[in-house]
Amino acid sequence: MANVAVVGSQWGDEGKGKIVDWLSSRADVVVRFQGGHNAGHTLVINGVTYKLSLLPSGVVRPGKLSVIGNGVVVDPWALLREIETLRGQGVEITPETLVVAENCSLILPLHSAVDKAREEARGVNKIGTTGRGIGPAYEDKVARRAIRLCDLADEAVLADKVEQLLFHHNALLRGLGAAELDGAELLAQLKDVAPKILPYAGVVWHRLDEAKRQGKRILFEGAQGAMLDVDHGTYPFVTSSNTVAGNAAAGSGMGPGAVGYVLGITKAYTTRVGSGPFPTELLDAVGEKIGERGREFGTVTGRKRRCGWFDAVMVRQAIKTGGITGIALTKLDVLDGFEELKVCTGYKLDGQVIQHLPAGQTAQAAVEPVYETFEGWSESTRGARSWADLPATAIKYIRRIEELIEAPVTLLSTSPERDDTILMKDPFQD
């Protein structure tokens, strides 16, 4: 049996929540390995909607161990609020069912303040962050000045780290013309939250090693998508972590051999939130229709998503850089009723057709999509649970996507309900 990593193969918002929930019913451990509470997953189970940001999707399933790995940046206040919200929906969350890596870096109130101040200062050159402090928290981690979860148990170390942290950030805030932060207030906030969050702290790498040796199934849950990866995405319009499956190992404390099957969640069309290049974006009635039918609004921010045709070049690139074994194609039903559909098969740049998204910012903004046109289908695919339930033209669309992205569609999702799924291959049985 293989462990499975689930990652997004576009710009996030591909419908990972449902797929992870579907897979987590057969996993023993579910691990978040990167990102923060800027990412959002929506689960619909027995008609009840759960909105998750930091917590792994397996948390709503009894008997599963949920893990927040060291690659995640954790806002302890946001995590505690999320736990309380889910408890209000009848989900039991205890230190026995949830463990947070003791060596994860924390997102503090100052990180949000810095995030918003910098984004405001950029003016028209905004990156499009959520303002939740994710980027500044990762910067502190890399700069070796972060406060980690384990530091909350050591008051002497904590006080010294707060002083060093504010030495840097207050200078930055002064330069931006923003209000400086009070060290005593921050220290008091951390001392207050410490006894509430520390019971969840644990040695994650050891817990996961034990689970592996016991033959338990581990599901690694990624946030965002490959094109938001800090190295392989549309830089600088990206997130601040590595979103590709290679980070499942580093972000959880396991070796790369622990990650088996990599499932890339992929929408049947394309969306993105925030600024940055989007070659297949539709700024017309068709794009509006896709957005309305797909209810394309961010789980966390509520921001309207930009919509466009399926970009096979981008997804193929994500498959290569992310080590994706097969894809789960989601939201096929959103395309029901369109007379014709288009898929991007190449980019035109400087009069030539290229087969990859270039790394340069100017080139990314300049590429023009080369389209292949497909006949649409009038029948409904919503709720289909077998290939026999799909129109022939829909099957043709799927098969052509497989050819273009050079990877198989191993799972097809036809509605937000977990059972409306067509399985071609079980990732856990790789």
Q: Please say whether the beta carbons of 414 and 420 come within 8 A.
A: yes
Catalytic one of 64, 111, 141, 161: 141
Is the bond leading into 279 cis (omega within 30 degrees of zero)?
Answer: no
**Is 141 a catalytic site residue?**
yes
| Binding site per annotation, positions for GTP | 12-18, 40-42, 305, 331-333, 413-415
Query: Annotated binding site for Mg(2+), which residues?
Result: 13, 40
Catalytic residue among 13, 21, 151, 229: 13
Over its C-alpha atoms, the chain yields an Rg (Å, rounded) of 22
Give the span between the Cα atoms of 116 and 134, in whole angstroms: 11
Sign of CA dihedral 221, 226, 232, 238: negative
**Residue list, annotated binding site:** 12-18, 38-42, 130, 144, 224, 239, 299-305, 331-333, 413-415
Mark the binding-site residues for substrate, compressed into ranges: 299-305
Q: 21, 37, 41, 75: which one is catalytic? A: 41
Binding-site entries for IMP:
13-16, 38-41, 130, 144, 224, 239, 303
Q: In whole angstroms, what is the distance from residue 21 CA to residue 174 CA?
A: 45
- Closest by CA position to 122, among listed 4, 205, 237: 237
Q: Examine the residue annotation and report whether 284 is marked as an active-site residue of this protein.
A: no
DSSP letters along 347-386, please? EEETTEEESS--SSHHHHHH-EEEEEEEE---S--TT--S
CA 129/CA 290 separation, integer angstroms: 24
What are the residues facing 346 on neighbouring strands?
Answer: 370
Largest CA distance in the chain: 67
Residue type, 188: A
User: Is 41 known to be catalytic?
Assistant: yes
Do the strands 218-221 and 201-202 form a parallel or antiparallel pair, or are they unpaired?
unpaired
C-alpha to C-alpha distance for 163 and 38, rounded to whole angstroms: 27
Catalytically active residues are: 13, 41, 141
